[in-house]
Each structure stands twice: as C-alpha cells, then as structure tokens.
Copies of this chain bind each other. A is one copy, B any other.
Amino acid sequence: MAQTAKNTESQHSVNGVAVDKLFGTIDAIKKTPVIATFKFRASNKWLDGGHNRTIINNYYGTQQEHERKKPFVLDADEPPILLGNDQGPNPVEYALTALAACVTSSIVYHAAAKGIRLNSVESRLEGDIDLQGFLGLSKEVPRGYKEIRMFFKIDADASDEKLEEIVQLGPTYSPVYDTITRAVPVKVKLEK
C-alpha cells in the first residue's frame, strides 16, 4: 500500500507541488497569456512610533478577483535600539523574509517541474545596512541594503554539480530576487 500511495503521489506531485496542475497552467498561459497577469495588494495602518500593521487579502489573477477566507495580519515594529518596542519584525527583516520565501519556493517549484525530488531546503540570509543613509547623514551611503547574502543547504539525491544547478533555479526565477536586484519603479502618491 505504501508503494501504491507513493506511486500515485509521484504521478501528480513532486516536492508537494502538483506538477500536473503546474504543466496545465503553463499550457493555459501559452494559449491565453493574459491569465498570467496578477496584481498583488496590501494595506497598511500606522499604529504608533515604528509600529504599523499590514493586511494581506485579495489579489487579481487569471482575469478575476480572489479573496482569502481570512486576511493575513502582519505587524512591523523596530527593536528598542531603533526606538521601537519589538512588536514585530522590522521592515528590512520583512524584505529578507520575502526574499528567503521566494527564492526557496522558486527552487522547489522549478525542481518539481524538472522532476527533481528535494528532501530539505534551508537557508540563512544576512544583509548590510548603514543607518547613516536612513538618517540622512550622508549622501554617499545608500538608505537600503548595500548587499544581501543567502546561504543554502539543500538535501537531494543529486551530485554536488547538480545541487549547484538546483540552487541557481532560485535567483534565476524568483520574483522577489528579481524585484530587489533589478530596480523596480515604485510610485508613491498622496490621496485626499
């Protein structure tokens, strides 16, 4: 029975990704590219000091609006050393979270599409920021990250050379990696 279950799973799902649906989606997008157009959204409310709250819920994709059963609520704050009360990760830590999650999922999905089974994927990230930028004390110091480093440990039945190919699926396909490394235009507007 275990063998049967495994065989059934292997026909449809690799790394927990339903590859039959993934290939179905790819075929559908090739025929009708407009269904690949997505709009993701967030709303945020300032609470006090460095403490604010983001709500994630609806998004647009496959030519229709989608809404979760329950919104996601994400508090951000600064640690006391940056004049906050540690009521959530700080914004630049959320940026690392986005990057970690996205590069990981990109590895997992694209490995699945290639039929490569992964046993585990772990990473640690570190990014350098000089607060002279944020504080406006220097024109030469960037406000944001100078550099971000990601270190992956991947366990799979694969050679060292193959593992190097697998990890590079992340930066090759990850939307957040691309968003951070490419310079995306962000428009900020005041509404009445």
Contacts and interface: CB of A to CB of B under 8 A. Distances in A.
Interface string A80-112: 011100101111111111111111111011100
Contacts of A101: 44, 52, 54, 74, 76, 90-91, 94
A190 B164 contact: yes
B100 A72 contact: no
A6 interface: no
Nearest to A123: B44
A43 interface: yes
B188 A171 contact: yes
A18 B79 CA distance: 13
Contacts of A179: 92, 95, 144-145, 180
Given A72-B89, A92-B102, A171-B186, A38 B124 contact: no
B148 A16 contact: no
B44 A125 contact: yes
Question: So how many copies of this chain end up in the complex?
Answer: 2
A147 B184 contact: yes
Interface in A56-81: 56, 59, 61-62, 66, 68-69, 72, 74, 76, 78-79, 81
A151 B105 contact: no
A130 B60 CA distance: 11
18 contacts: A16-B48, A30-B137, A41-B93, A42-B124, A43-B122, A45-B121, A46-B108, A52-B104, A54-B96, A76-B101, A94-B102, A95-B179, A143-B175, A148-B187, A151-B191, A160-B192, A164-B190, A183-B183
